[in-house]
Structure 1
């Protein structure tokens, strides 16, 4: 069971509308801490989605929960450009264009 830094509460996918829903258009691995990979993503919102932002520069760290749409947890190293994702932000965003945020959770679509 994975826990977060707030204690023994397990990490769960949020039950709210994601902050952005779209495609990974750029991905850069920023650091590798043992088996913990961190990354920087650029996500462009899908046209017609209910996303809060049209695009976002997103930091993925060891606290980010990443699952596929069947609920299976996956590692940050398996993220790829072109994948469809839903992303929930952790904390405030830095208002720029695109906005900058840290990912609390990412759901990766299994659809090709």
Structure 2
């Protein structure tokens, strides 16, 4: 994220309130929950980052992982406006957020 022009900082383990990374750029705040898993990522990660978005007053929330997501996690993410990403998608995602912020269609 720093390479894409964002200011990003890791939170302190144990007191992160559901976010592993807090990133800002152009008055936009993103909270990220990072998961390095062998198996699929479930609801807990989505719940944590959704709570973190409220706690940190972030505009966007995402879970970033090397693994896929369960169907219940995908459903919960949709209903809570949480992005679910593979770590390879992060550079394109940050560019997408910038276009979204500028009012450009991102579909």
Q: TM-score, normalised by structure 2?
A: 0.30
Q: Which has the higher contact order (CA 8 A, sep 6+)?
A: 1
Structure having the larger proportion of residues in helix: 2
